[in-house]
Protein backbone atom coordinates (compact mmCIF):
# COMPACT_ATOMS: atom_id res chain seq x y z
CA UNK A 1 0.00 0.00 0.00
CA UNK A 2 1.27 3.45 -0.87
CA UNK A 3 0.88 5.58 2.27
CA UNK A 4 1.58 9.23 3.08
CA UNK A 5 2.17 10.29 6.69
CA UNK A 6 0.99 13.91 6.85
CA UNK A 7 2.88 15.72 9.61
CA UNK A 8 5.82 14.20 11.47
CA UNK A 9 5.30 15.30 15.05
CA UNK A 10 4.65 12.94 17.95
CA UNK A 11 1.57 11.30 16.38
CA UNK A 12 3.06 11.24 12.89
CA UNK A 13 6.17 9.48 14.16
CA UNK A 14 3.97 6.94 15.94
CA UNK A 15 1.99 6.38 12.72
CA UNK A 16 5.23 5.85 10.79
CA UNK A 17 6.35 3.18 13.26
CA UNK A 18 2.96 1.49 13.03
CA UNK A 19 2.74 1.36 9.24
CA UNK A 20 6.47 0.61 8.84
CA UNK A 21 6.43 -2.61 10.91
CA UNK A 22 8.10 -5.70 9.44
CA UNK A 23 4.74 -7.43 8.99
CA UNK A 24 3.72 -4.47 6.81
CA UNK A 25 6.82 -4.58 4.62
CA UNK A 26 4.69 -4.17 1.51
CA UNK A 27 3.85 -0.60 2.59
CA UNK A 28 5.50 2.17 0.61
CA UNK A 29 5.65 5.15 2.98
CA UNK A 30 6.31 8.82 2.26
CA UNK A 31 6.43 11.52 4.93
CA UNK A 32 4.98 14.98 4.24
CA UNK A 33 5.91 17.86 6.55
CA UNK A 34 6.08 21.61 6.01
CA UNK A 35 9.22 21.89 8.15
CA UNK A 36 12.18 21.32 5.85
CA UNK A 37 14.45 21.10 8.92
CA UNK A 38 12.49 18.19 10.40
CA UNK A 39 14.69 15.22 11.31
CA UNK A 40 13.40 12.20 9.39
CA UNK A 41 14.26 8.48 9.51
CA UNK A 42 17.20 7.51 7.35
CA UNK A 43 16.28 6.58 3.79
CA UNK A 44 12.61 7.48 4.02
CA UNK A 45 10.89 9.18 1.11
CA UNK A 46 9.72 12.67 1.98
CA UNK A 47 8.02 15.79 0.68
CA UNK A 48 9.01 18.71 2.90
CA UNK A 49 8.71 22.46 3.01
CA UNK A 50 6.10 24.83 1.64
CA UNK A 51 3.45 23.00 -0.35
CA UNK A 52 3.98 19.67 1.41
CA UNK A 53 0.23 19.37 2.02
CA UNK A 54 -1.05 20.57 -1.34
CA UNK A 55 -2.14 18.57 -4.41
CA UNK A 56 -2.12 15.38 -2.34
CA UNK A 57 -4.18 13.43 -4.88
CA UNK A 58 -1.45 13.93 -7.48
CA UNK A 59 0.95 11.50 -5.77
CA UNK A 60 -1.23 8.42 -6.31
CA UNK A 61 -1.34 7.40 -2.66
CA UNK A 62 -3.72 4.69 -1.44
CA UNK A 63 -4.01 6.24 2.02
CA UNK A 64 -3.29 9.57 3.71
CA UNK A 65 -2.64 9.49 7.47
CA UNK A 66 -3.46 12.92 8.92
CA UNK A 67 -1.71 13.95 12.13
CA UNK A 68 -4.29 15.35 14.58
CA UNK A 69 -3.08 18.95 14.58
CA UNK A 70 -2.99 19.20 10.81
CA UNK A 71 -6.05 20.57 9.04
CA UNK A 72 -6.42 19.61 5.39
CA UNK A 73 -9.19 20.31 2.88
CA UNK A 74 -10.89 16.92 2.99
CA UNK A 75 -13.74 18.03 0.75
CA UNK A 76 -11.39 18.40 -2.23
CA UNK A 77 -9.30 15.28 -1.64
CA UNK A 78 -10.34 12.00 -3.25
CA UNK A 79 -7.64 9.81 -1.66
CA UNK A 80 -8.74 7.84 1.42
CA UNK A 81 -7.85 9.60 4.68
CA UNK A 82 -7.39 8.20 8.17
CA UNK A 83 -5.76 9.34 11.42
CA UNK A 84 -3.81 7.54 14.16
CA UNK A 85 -6.92 7.86 16.36
CA UNK A 86 -9.24 6.38 13.74
CA UNK A 87 -6.88 3.49 13.02
CA UNK A 88 -6.43 2.74 16.71
CA UNK A 89 -10.17 2.69 17.36
CA UNK A 90 -10.64 0.31 14.42
CA UNK A 91 -8.13 -2.29 15.64
CA UNK A 92 -8.03 -1.85 19.44
CA UNK A 93 -9.03 -5.17 21.08
CA UNK A 94 -10.17 -3.57 24.37
CA UNK A 95 -13.01 -1.28 25.37
CA UNK A 96 -12.24 2.43 25.23
CA UNK A 97 -13.31 5.19 27.61
CA UNK A 98 -13.01 8.43 25.64
CA UNK A 99 -12.86 11.81 27.38
CA UNK A 100 -13.36 15.16 25.67
CA UNK A 101 -14.24 18.72 26.64
CA UNK A 102 -12.68 22.15 26.41
CA UNK A 103 -10.70 21.76 29.63
CA UNK A 104 -10.21 19.05 32.22
CA UNK A 105 -9.68 16.15 29.80
CA UNK A 106 -6.23 15.23 31.06
CA UNK A 107 -7.11 15.44 34.74
CA UNK A 108 -10.36 13.50 34.27
CA UNK A 109 -8.72 10.81 32.14
CA UNK A 110 -5.95 10.41 34.70
CA UNK A 111 -8.46 10.13 37.55
CA UNK A 112 -10.35 7.44 35.59
CA UNK A 113 -7.15 5.51 34.98
CA UNK A 114 -6.07 5.78 38.64
CA UNK A 115 -9.46 4.62 39.96
CA UNK A 116 -9.66 1.66 37.61
CA UNK A 117 -6.09 0.65 38.45
CA UNK A 118 -6.79 0.98 42.19
CA UNK A 119 -9.82 -1.29 41.77
CA UNK A 120 -7.70 -3.98 40.06
CA UNK A 121 -8.36 -3.24 36.38
CA UNK A 122 -5.48 -3.28 33.90
CA UNK A 123 -5.58 0.05 32.04
CA UNK A 124 -3.80 2.13 29.40
CA UNK A 125 -3.81 5.94 29.44
CA UNK A 126 -3.55 7.39 25.94
CA UNK A 127 -3.81 10.72 24.13
CA UNK A 128 -2.01 13.98 24.87
CA UNK A 129 -1.75 12.99 28.52
CA UNK A 130 -0.48 9.46 27.82
CA UNK A 131 1.34 7.41 25.22
CA UNK A 132 0.61 7.70 21.48
CA UNK A 133 -2.19 5.23 20.91
CA UNK A 134 -0.63 3.20 18.08
CA UNK A 135 2.61 2.75 20.06
CA UNK A 136 0.66 1.21 22.96
CA UNK A 137 -1.41 -1.12 20.78
CA UNK A 138 0.86 -4.22 21.09
CA UNK A 139 0.51 -4.08 24.90
CA UNK A 140 -3.29 -4.06 25.01
CA UNK A 141 -5.25 -7.21 25.86
CA UNK A 142 -9.00 -7.67 25.22
CA UNK A 143 -9.74 -7.64 28.96
CA UNK A 144 -7.97 -4.30 29.49
CA UNK A 145 -9.58 -0.85 29.50
CA UNK A 146 -8.17 2.01 27.45
CA UNK A 147 -8.65 5.56 28.75
CA UNK A 148 -8.25 7.97 25.84
CA UNK A 149 -8.06 11.75 26.17
CA UNK A 150 -9.60 12.99 22.89
CA UNK A 151 -9.20 16.50 21.47
CA UNK A 152 -11.40 18.10 18.83
CA UNK A 153 -8.54 17.58 16.36
CA UNK A 154 -8.70 13.83 16.95
CA UNK A 155 -12.51 13.69 16.94
CA UNK A 156 -12.88 15.94 13.89
CA UNK A 157 -13.14 13.16 11.32
CA UNK A 158 -13.49 9.87 13.21
CA UNK A 159 -16.15 7.36 12.16
CA UNK A 160 -16.38 5.44 15.45
CA UNK A 161 -17.06 6.36 19.07
CA UNK A 162 -15.67 4.89 22.31
CA UNK A 163 -17.63 2.42 24.42
CA UNK A 164 -17.87 4.99 27.24
CA UNK A 165 -17.99 8.55 25.92
CA UNK A 166 -17.43 11.38 28.40
CA UNK A 167 -18.09 15.00 27.46
CA UNK A 168 -17.02 17.60 29.99
CA UNK A 169 -17.71 21.34 29.90
CA UNK A 170 -17.56 22.61 26.29
CA UNK A 171 -17.00 26.29 25.60
CA UNK A 172 -15.18 28.27 22.90
CA UNK A 173 -11.68 27.13 21.89
CA UNK A 174 -9.40 26.41 18.92
CA UNK A 175 -11.15 28.89 16.63
CA UNK A 176 -7.80 29.40 14.91
CA UNK A 177 -8.11 25.78 13.66
CA UNK A 178 -11.85 25.18 13.34
CA UNK A 179 -13.81 27.26 10.86
CA UNK A 180 -16.25 28.37 13.57
CA UNK A 181 -17.69 27.41 16.95
CA UNK A 182 -20.29 25.15 15.34
CA UNK A 183 -17.59 23.04 13.67
CA UNK A 184 -15.70 22.80 16.96
CA UNK A 185 -18.82 21.57 18.75
CA UNK A 186 -19.61 19.14 15.92
CA UNK A 187 -16.14 17.64 16.28
CA UNK A 188 -16.70 17.18 20.01
CA UNK A 189 -20.06 15.56 19.27
CA UNK A 190 -18.40 12.77 17.31
CA UNK A 191 -17.45 11.17 20.62
CA UNK A 192 -21.16 10.28 20.91
CA UNK A 193 -22.33 10.18 17.30
CA UNK A 194 -21.29 6.63 16.44
CA UNK A 195 -22.19 4.92 19.72
CA UNK A 196 -24.55 1.95 19.73
CA UNK A 197 -27.18 0.86 22.24
CA UNK A 198 -24.61 -1.19 24.16
CA UNK A 199 -22.46 1.86 24.92
CA UNK A 200 -22.50 4.45 27.72
CA UNK A 201 -22.78 8.24 27.40
CA UNK A 202 -21.63 10.62 30.17
CA UNK A 203 -22.47 14.34 30.12
CA UNK A 204 -22.41 17.45 32.32
CA UNK A 205 -25.85 18.67 33.36
CA UNK A 206 -24.70 22.26 33.90
CA UNK A 207 -23.33 22.72 30.38
CA UNK A 208 -25.98 22.97 27.64
CA UNK A 209 -23.50 22.00 24.92
CA UNK A 210 -22.47 18.82 26.72
CA UNK A 211 -26.14 17.92 27.22
CA UNK A 212 -27.01 18.63 23.59
CA UNK A 213 -24.08 16.65 22.18
CA UNK A 214 -24.94 13.64 24.35
CA UNK A 215 -28.29 13.44 22.55
CA UNK A 216 -26.36 12.35 19.45
CA UNK A 217 -25.63 9.06 21.20
CA UNK A 218 -27.64 5.87 20.67
CA UNK A 219 -26.36 4.47 23.98
CA UNK A 220 -29.05 2.82 26.08
CA UNK A 221 -27.19 3.86 29.24
CA UNK A 222 -26.35 7.45 30.09
CA UNK A 223 -24.88 8.89 33.27
CA UNK A 224 -24.83 12.55 34.16
CA UNK A 225 -22.89 14.61 36.65
CA UNK A 226 -23.52 18.04 38.13
CA UNK A 227 -26.74 19.46 39.55
CA UNK A 228 -29.56 16.88 39.37
CA UNK A 229 -27.11 14.33 37.96
CA UNK A 230 -26.18 10.83 39.00
CA UNK A 231 -22.99 12.17 40.61
CA UNK A 232 -22.86 15.59 42.25
CA UNK A 233 -21.47 17.70 45.09
CA UNK A 234 -23.90 18.86 47.74
CA UNK A 235 -23.43 20.15 51.29
CA UNK A 236 -19.70 19.61 51.06
CA UNK A 237 -19.96 15.95 50.05
CA UNK A 238 -19.43 14.00 46.83
CA UNK A 239 -22.46 11.82 46.18
CA UNK A 240 -22.44 9.05 43.56
CA UNK A 241 -25.54 7.08 42.59
CA UNK A 242 -27.10 7.62 46.00
CA UNK A 243 -23.99 6.88 48.09
CA UNK A 244 -21.74 9.40 49.82
CA UNK A 245 -18.20 8.96 48.54
CA UNK A 246 -16.41 11.43 50.81
CA UNK A 247 -16.24 14.97 52.17
CA UNK A 248 -14.76 17.46 49.69
CA UNK A 249 -12.36 18.65 52.40
CA UNK A 250 -10.49 15.37 51.96
CA UNK A 251 -9.97 15.84 48.22
CA UNK A 252 -6.34 16.61 47.39
CA UNK A 253 -6.97 18.20 43.98
CA UNK A 254 -7.27 22.00 44.27
CA UNK A 255 -10.12 24.04 42.77
CA UNK A 256 -13.88 23.80 42.53
CA UNK A 257 -13.63 22.92 38.82
CA UNK A 258 -11.80 19.74 39.75
CA UNK A 259 -14.78 18.58 41.79
CA UNK A 260 -16.69 18.42 38.50
CA UNK A 261 -13.82 16.49 36.88
CA UNK A 262 -14.01 14.07 39.81
CA UNK A 263 -17.75 13.61 39.34
CA UNK A 264 -17.22 12.93 35.62
CA UNK A 265 -14.53 10.36 36.39
CA UNK A 266 -16.81 8.52 38.82
CA UNK A 267 -19.52 8.31 36.13
CA UNK A 268 -16.98 6.95 33.66
CA UNK A 269 -15.70 4.16 35.91
CA UNK A 270 -19.15 3.13 37.14
CA UNK A 271 -19.71 0.53 34.37
CA UNK A 272 -16.48 -1.17 35.53
CA UNK A 273 -16.34 -0.62 39.28
CA UNK A 274 -18.49 0.74 42.08
CA UNK A 275 -15.65 0.38 44.58
CA UNK A 276 -16.20 3.48 46.76
CA UNK A 277 -13.10 2.70 48.83
CA UNK A 278 -10.90 2.70 45.70
CA UNK A 279 -12.45 5.95 44.48
CA UNK A 280 -11.95 7.61 47.86
CA UNK A 281 -8.32 6.49 48.10
CA UNK A 282 -7.50 8.05 44.72
CA UNK A 283 -9.26 11.31 45.58
CA UNK A 284 -7.37 11.54 48.87
CA UNK A 285 -3.96 11.05 47.23
CA UNK A 286 -4.04 12.39 43.64
CA UNK A 287 -2.67 15.97 43.74
CA UNK A 288 -3.04 16.74 40.05
CA UNK A 289 -0.96 16.86 36.88
CA UNK A 290 2.19 18.91 36.36
CA UNK A 291 1.45 22.49 35.26
CA UNK A 292 -2.24 22.15 36.22
CA UNK A 293 -2.45 24.68 39.09
CA UNK A 294 0.71 23.00 40.36
CA UNK A 295 2.08 24.29 43.67
CA UNK A 296 5.71 25.16 42.96
CA UNK A 297 6.91 26.57 46.29
CA UNK A 298 6.30 29.00 49.15
CA UNK A 299 8.83 31.75 49.74
CA UNK A 300 8.76 34.84 51.96
CA UNK A 301 5.08 34.34 52.64
CA UNK A 302 4.16 34.11 48.93
CA UNK A 303 2.77 30.93 47.32
CA UNK A 304 3.68 30.23 43.69
CA UNK A 305 1.43 28.19 41.39
CA UNK A 306 2.08 27.03 37.84
CA UNK A 307 -0.96 26.60 35.58
CA UNK A 308 0.85 26.59 32.24
CA UNK A 309 -1.79 24.14 30.96
CA UNK A 310 -4.17 27.12 30.97
CA UNK A 311 -4.45 27.70 27.22
CA UNK A 312 -7.84 29.45 27.11
CA UNK A 313 -9.79 31.95 29.24
CA UNK A 314 -12.02 29.28 30.81
CA UNK A 315 -9.08 27.48 32.41
CA UNK A 316 -7.65 30.73 33.74
CA UNK A 317 -11.02 31.59 35.28
CA UNK A 318 -11.09 28.21 37.02
CA UNK A 319 -7.59 28.74 38.38
CA UNK A 320 -8.33 32.27 39.61
CA UNK A 321 -11.44 31.05 41.41
CA UNK A 322 -9.34 28.46 43.24
CA UNK A 323 -7.82 31.17 45.47
CA UNK A 324 -9.22 33.69 47.94
CA UNK A 325 -5.87 35.41 48.55
CA UNK A 326 -4.68 38.44 46.54
CA UNK A 327 -3.27 37.25 43.22
CA UNK A 328 -0.38 38.31 41.02
CA UNK A 329 -1.43 36.96 37.63
CA UNK A 330 0.34 36.36 34.31
CA UNK A 331 -1.71 36.33 31.07
CA UNK A 332 -0.56 36.02 27.46
CA UNK A 333 0.68 33.83 24.64
CA UNK A 334 -0.25 32.73 21.14
CA UNK A 335 -3.52 34.17 19.83
CA UNK A 336 -6.21 31.54 19.12
CA UNK A 337 -8.82 34.30 18.66
CA UNK A 338 -10.35 33.60 22.06
CA UNK A 339 -12.75 36.03 23.70
CA UNK A 340 -11.34 37.32 27.01
CA UNK A 341 -14.39 39.36 28.10
CA UNK A 342 -15.65 36.84 30.65
CA UNK A 343 -12.16 36.55 32.11
CA UNK A 344 -11.96 40.33 32.50
CA UNK A 345 -15.37 40.39 34.20
CA UNK A 346 -14.26 37.71 36.65
CA UNK A 347 -11.05 39.58 37.43
CA UNK A 348 -13.08 42.63 38.43
CA UNK A 349 -14.66 40.56 41.22
CA UNK A 350 -11.44 39.07 42.63
CA UNK A 351 -8.58 40.28 44.80
CA UNK A 352 -5.95 41.07 42.19
CA UNK A 353 -2.62 42.56 43.27
CA UNK A 354 -1.12 42.83 39.78
CA UNK A 355 -1.70 41.51 36.27
CA UNK A 356 1.22 41.13 33.88
CA UNK A 357 0.31 40.52 30.22
CA UNK A 358 2.75 39.57 27.48
CA UNK A 359 3.22 38.13 23.96
CA UNK A 360 0.61 38.07 21.16
CA UNK A 361 -2.55 38.14 23.27
CA UNK A 362 -1.00 40.30 25.97
CA UNK A 363 -1.62 43.65 24.28
CA UNK A 364 -5.23 42.75 23.47
CA UNK A 365 -5.90 41.48 27.00
CA UNK A 366 -4.30 44.59 28.53
CA UNK A 367 -6.45 46.95 26.48
CA UNK A 368 -9.57 45.00 27.43
CA UNK A 369 -8.70 45.08 31.13
CA UNK A 370 -8.09 48.82 31.03
CA UNK A 371 -11.42 49.36 29.26
CA UNK A 372 -13.06 47.42 32.11
CA UNK A 373 -11.53 49.74 34.69
CA UNK A 374 -8.81 47.35 35.87
CA UNK A 375 -5.93 49.69 36.53
CA UNK A 376 -3.30 47.33 37.94
CA UNK A 377 -2.56 45.62 34.60
CA UNK A 378 0.75 46.05 32.81
CA UNK A 379 1.70 44.88 29.33
CA UNK A 380 5.35 43.95 28.85
CA UNK A 381 6.53 43.78 25.24
CA UNK A 382 9.31 41.51 24.03
CA UNK A 383 10.19 37.88 24.70
CA UNK A 384 12.42 38.15 27.79
CA UNK A 385 10.38 35.68 29.81
CA UNK A 386 12.54 36.01 32.91
CA UNK A 387 11.98 39.78 32.94
CA UNK A 388 8.24 39.26 32.42
CA UNK A 389 8.00 36.89 35.37
CA UNK A 390 10.28 39.06 37.47
CA UNK A 391 7.99 42.06 36.99
CA UNK A 392 5.12 40.16 38.54
CA UNK A 393 7.12 38.54 41.33
CA UNK A 394 8.41 41.96 42.42
CA UNK A 395 4.78 43.04 42.96
CA UNK A 396 3.92 40.18 45.32
CA UNK A 397 3.45 40.75 49.05
CA UNK A 398 3.34 38.25 51.92
CA UNK A 399 0.03 36.39 51.84
CA UNK A 400 -0.29 36.69 48.06
CA UNK A 401 -0.51 33.98 45.42
CA UNK A 402 1.61 34.28 42.28
CA UNK A 403 -0.38 32.49 39.60
CA UNK A 404 0.93 31.69 36.13
CA UNK A 405 -2.28 30.91 34.23
CA UNK A 406 -1.76 32.43 30.76
CA UNK A 407 -5.24 31.77 29.22
CA UNK A 408 -3.43 31.43 25.88
CA UNK A 409 -1.52 28.82 23.91
CA UNK A 410 2.25 28.58 24.29
CA UNK A 411 3.27 28.45 20.61
CA UNK A 412 5.73 31.02 19.39
CA UNK A 413 7.69 31.72 22.55
CA UNK A 414 7.61 28.02 23.54
CA UNK A 415 7.24 24.64 21.85
CA UNK A 416 4.34 23.60 24.10
CA UNK A 417 2.75 24.21 27.49
CA UNK A 418 5.15 21.78 29.18
CA UNK A 419 8.21 23.69 28.01
CA UNK A 420 6.57 26.94 29.10
CA UNK A 421 5.70 25.48 32.48
CA UNK A 422 9.18 24.08 33.09
CA UNK A 423 10.82 27.41 32.28
CA UNK A 424 8.43 29.18 34.68
CA UNK A 425 9.35 26.71 37.42
CA UNK A 426 13.04 27.19 36.71
CA UNK A 427 12.71 30.97 36.96
CA UNK A 428 10.70 30.83 40.19
CA UNK A 429 13.10 28.43 41.91
CA UNK A 430 16.06 30.59 40.89
CA UNK A 431 14.89 33.97 42.16
Question: Could you confirm whether domain 2-81 is CATH 3.10.330.10?
Answer: no
pLDDT at 142: 98
The answer to whether residue 26 scores a pLDDT higher than 90 is no
The answer to whether residue 231 scores a pLDDT higher than 90 is yes
Top-tier CATH class for 86-285: alpha beta
Confidence band of 177 (pLDDT split at 50, 70, 90): low
Of 129-138, 160-169, 202-211, the range with the lowest mean pLDDT is: 129-138
Average pLDDT over residues 118-134: 91
Average pLDDT over residues 404-428: 95
Which residues make up the CATH 3.40.50.720 domain(s) of the chain? 2-81
pTM equals 0.81
Chain CA centroid to CA 419, Å: 16
pLDDT at 340: 96
The answer to whether residue 406 scores a pLDDT higher than 70 is yes
The answer to whether residue 131 scores a pLDDT higher than 90 is no
pLDDT at 22: 60
Mean pLDDT of the chain: 94
pLDDT at 368: 97
Which residues make up the CATH 3.90.190.20 domain(s) of the chain? 294-430
Confidence band of 236 (pLDDT split at 50, 70, 90): very high
The answer to whether residue 230 scores a pLDDT higher than 80 is yes
Which residues make up the CATH 3.40.1190.10 domain(s) of the chain? 86-285
Render pLDDT for 270-299 as a digit per residue (tens, 0 to 9).
Answer: 999 999 999 999 999 998 888 989 999 999
For domain 294-430, give the CATH number: 3.90.190.20
Average pLDDT over residues 146-161: 93
Confidence band of 109 (pLDDT split at 50, 70, 90): very high
Amino acid sequence: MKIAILGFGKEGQSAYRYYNKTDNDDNDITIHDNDNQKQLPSGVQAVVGEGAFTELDSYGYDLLVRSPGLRIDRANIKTAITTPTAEFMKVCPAEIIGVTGTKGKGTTATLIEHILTESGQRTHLLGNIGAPALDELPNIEPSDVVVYEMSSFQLYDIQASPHVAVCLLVTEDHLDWHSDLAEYQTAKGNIFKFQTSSDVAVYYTQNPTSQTLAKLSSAATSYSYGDNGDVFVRDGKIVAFGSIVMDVKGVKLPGEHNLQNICAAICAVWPYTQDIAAIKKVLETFAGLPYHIEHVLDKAGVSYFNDSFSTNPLSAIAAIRSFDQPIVLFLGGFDKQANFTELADVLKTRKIRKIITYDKTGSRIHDLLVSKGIANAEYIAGDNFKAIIGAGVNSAQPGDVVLFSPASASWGMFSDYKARGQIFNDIITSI
